[in-house]
Amino acid sequence: MSLMLANVSERTSEIGLPRALGASRWQLYLLFFLEGVVTTFVASLIGICIAAWMSQAVQDTVSVPMAFSWSLVWLCLGLATLLGAIFSLPPAMIAAQTQPALAMRNE
């Protein structure tokens, strides 16, 4: 959430321009919310791929049987995406409430 808050504060002019051109608060809210969810989903997917590769490497190196459960993979992916959605809400609300004149002045 802190990264998303920093992202919102750095992108004030990017927020102000669409608002000045007529974008609704809902559209800005949706933009930042979906950005946080998609970023979390992709990062989780990359982490799962690395974990699968590492577990295979350990299994080949140490000859220890390791199981990779797909149901657990989907659970972790869903939980991470849910947390990303929850923690994207406050920064998205802040971005949506930014006044266009103030955002353009901070440029």
Structural domain of 14 = 2-105
Q: How far, CA to CA in Å, does 7 sit from each of 24, 38, 78, 93, 100?
A: 20, 15, 24, 13, 17
Taking the CA atoms of the chain, what radius of gyration do you get in angstroms?
A: 19
**φ, ψ at 22 (rounded to 5°):** 110, 5
Residue among 100, 102, 104, 85 at smallest CA distance from 1: 85
Segment 41-65 mean pLDDT: 88
Q: Is the pLDDT of residue 2 over 80?
A: no
Predicted pLDDT of residue 52: 87
**How many domains does the structure of the chain reveal?**
1
Q: Is the pLDDT of residue 73 over 80?
A: yes
Residue among 37, 32, 1 at smallest CA distance from 18: 32
Q: Is the pLDDT of residue 101 over 80?
A: no
Q: Is the pLDDT of residue 18 over 90?
A: no
